[in-house]
Each structure stands twice: as C-alpha cells, then as structure tokens.
C-alpha cells in the first residue's frame, strides 16, 4: 500500500515547475507556502511524508539525497530547484555530513543538468567562512578558513564549491547564506533555547553582536534569487549573505526569545576559555563513551557564542532586490504568539 502511494505521488509530481528539496523542513515549508501562494506548481522531495505539506496540497516525493535516481526523478520536468535539504548540527560523524551535504548536492546538480532544470537556488550558511574569530560586517569576499571547527561548515563549504563550479554549464545557480533562521514553526533555534533555559550560561561579556533572519524574510530571499536569475543570468554562480540587517548582542536575542516564551533572562555567565575547554572535554566524553545525542557544549559552539556574526548584505539588496520586510521586533511578536498557541504541535524534520 505504501509503495502504491509513493508511486502515485511520483506520477502526480511529474511535470510540476518547481522542486523544493527538504520541503518538509522549516525553511522548505516556508518556501513551499510562498510558491503556492504565487500559484506555482510545487513538489517537495524529503525522506518522509509531511502532514503540513498535505494540508497545503503540495505533491511529495519521498527519497534520500544519496539516491541519485530518486533525485533525478524528482527533478524531471522542473524549471527551478530550491535545494534546502541538509544535515545540520554541531556534532556528528563527518561521513554522515559528507553524504548528505556534499554527495547529496552533487546528485542534485547532476539531476538538474540531466533534467534540463534552468535555475538552482542553494541554501548554505555563513558558518562556511567562520574561522573562530569575530565576523563583523564581512561580505562575500571573505575566504574559507584554513581549518573548519565542525563537519557541518566544512561540508557546506565543499557543497558551495560544487554549486559555483556548476554555474555556466547550462545551469544558473545562486547560493544564499541565511544566518540563524527563526520564527513561528521553528523546530530548532528557539525551542532549543527554551528547553535549555535553566542550564544556559552567557559565554563572554555578552556584547558580541549577531544578525539573524526571520523565516519569512529567508523564504522571500530564495524566491527573489530565482526570479532575478530568470532575467539576469549573469548573476549565476554568485553567493549572497541574507539577514535582518539588524545586528544585536547575541544574548539580547536569546533573552528576547525567552521573554517570548514567558521565561526569565539568562543570569549566569562563563568565560570563553572555560566554555571552550568544557566543549573539548564533552567532545572526548561523547566520543569515548559513545553517548547518544550531541554534547551540550562543543568547541565550535563555544567560539560561535563568544564571537560576533553579522554581515554586509548590500550585494543581496543590489542584485536580488532583497529587503527584510518583517522586522526583528515584529518577528518576535509573531514568535511569542506562536509559542503561546502552537508551540507544542509536533514538527518532524525533513
């Protein structure tokens, strides 16, 4: 029965104009919703079926990015592919990140070329340029670091290189680097902060500023990238930071999220050195004892929490026409409403 349902879904998706990999994820669903509102025919490619997409009337193909044939079937008949699916996180085996983020992206690129897809929008991360030091107002000219502190940014950087190399070979591509996507429906950023509220400690003096991006703004940027590529193919192969363009102290943002959930602000603090050493010890413990889950602190996370992360988005404004339409204050208001009404509803990742 399940196989027949999958086959039926595959047949119905054939010929649709847009594919979103990871369409059941947080960003993927937002992109699917915006495309559907515009009247586009949208298909999602994820590892499992998602009730939210069923309610939106979105066709779904179930498969894994490591399955080249499944990816090709999903890309057939599409004009645009939004590749949002990825393995994210600060902990895990390099091989697992590589399989999804690098090999999976290679499969998407190959499928796009074989199926005659015109435009590919790839979702990356600013962490690909993080070298452990402050990133203040950096733009797209910043190089990759010599050493990566986590498998996630390393494999995302490798995937970026693949997407850039694919540009100009009959496929137009754009890479977007959204930083810390949040908002109603968020299954990761805000819920983790809320769940760990009693255990969280500030790392450093708390003055390091970060920029983030509200979910609707992130979705808008992806649609704008595809639209601009249609009329300006010379943008192919370019990379863009996208954010709120509103850097604030990271712990002010954390406290604002806690306040949205009716929780008190963070009170305790530790030095960056202590956090880094604790992360190293926990990494050793988790590897040696083969503990499940991820450590509450890692060296990569300690450095992220203690440093500034905000970016120059003038290129996205100029080339894509991107302008964050939902302010941080308005986004927090919407987040608070969601936390009060819908937070406990289950959300399964793509």
Long-range CB contacts (within 8 A, 24+) of 165-171: 166/109, 166/112, 166/113, 166/120, 167/236, 167/237, 168/236, 168/237, 169/113, 170/113, 171/109, 171/112, 171/113, 171/117, 171/118, 171/119, 171/120, 171/236
Specify the DSSP class assigned to residue 330. H
Residues 46 and 64: their CA atoms lie apart, in Å, by 7
Residues 140 and 121: their CA atoms lie apart, in Å, by 16
Residues 47 and 22: their CA atoms lie apart, in Å, by 8
Q: What is each CA distance from 183 to 30, 41, 95, in whole angstroms? A: 11, 25, 31
Annotation says 152 is catalytic: yes
Out of 82, 152, 214, 276, pick the active-site residue. Answer: 152
Residues 32 and 20: their CA atoms lie apart, in Å, by 7
Residues 45 and 82: their CA atoms lie apart, in Å, by 10
Tokens for 269?
């603090």
Catalytically annotated residues: 152
């Amino acid at each position: 029965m399940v196989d027949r349902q999958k086959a039926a879904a595959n047949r119905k998706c054939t010929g649709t104009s847009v594919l979103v990999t990871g369409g059941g994820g947080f960003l993927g669903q937002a992109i699917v919703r915006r495309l559907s509102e515009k009247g586009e025919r949208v298909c999602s490619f994820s590892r499992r079926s998602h009730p939210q997409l069923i309610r939106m009337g979105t066709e779904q193909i179930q498969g894994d990015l490591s399955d080249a044939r499944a990816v090709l079937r999903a890309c057939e008949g599409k004009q645009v592919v939004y590749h949002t699916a990825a393995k994210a996180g600060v902990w895990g085996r390099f091989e697992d990140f590589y399989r999804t983020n690098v090999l999976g992206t290679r499969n998407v690129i190959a499928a796009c070329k074989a199926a005659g897809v015109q435009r590919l929008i790839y979702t990356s991360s600013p962490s690909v340029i993080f070298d452990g030091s402050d990133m203040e107002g950096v733009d797209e000219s910043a190089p990759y670091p010599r050493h990566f502190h986590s498998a996630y940014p390393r494999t995302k950087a490798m995937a970026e290189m693949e997407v850039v190399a694919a540009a100009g070979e009959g496929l137009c591509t754009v890479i977007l680097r959204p930083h810390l996507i949040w908002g109603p429906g968020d299954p990761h950023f805000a819920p983790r902060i809320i769940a760990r509220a009693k255990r969280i400690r500030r790392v450093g003096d708390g003055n390091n500023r970060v920029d983030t991006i509200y979910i609707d703004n992130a979705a808008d940027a992806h649609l704008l990238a595809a639209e601009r590529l249609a009329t300006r193919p010379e943008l192919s192969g370019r990379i863009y930071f996208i954010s709120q363009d509103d850097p604030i102290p990271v712990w002010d943002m954390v406290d604002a999220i806690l306040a949205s959930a009716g929780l008190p602000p963070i009170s305790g603090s530790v030095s960056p050195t202590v956090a880094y050493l604790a992360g190293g010890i926990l990494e050793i413990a988790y590897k040696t004892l083969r503990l499940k889950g991820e450590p509450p602190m890692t060296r990569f996370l300690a450095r992220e929490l203690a440093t500034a992360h905000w970016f120059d988005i003038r290129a996205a404004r100029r080339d894509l026409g991107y302008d964050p339409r939902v302010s941080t204050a308005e986004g927090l208001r919407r987040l608070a409403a969601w936390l009060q009404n819908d937070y406990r509803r289950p959300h399964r990742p793509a």
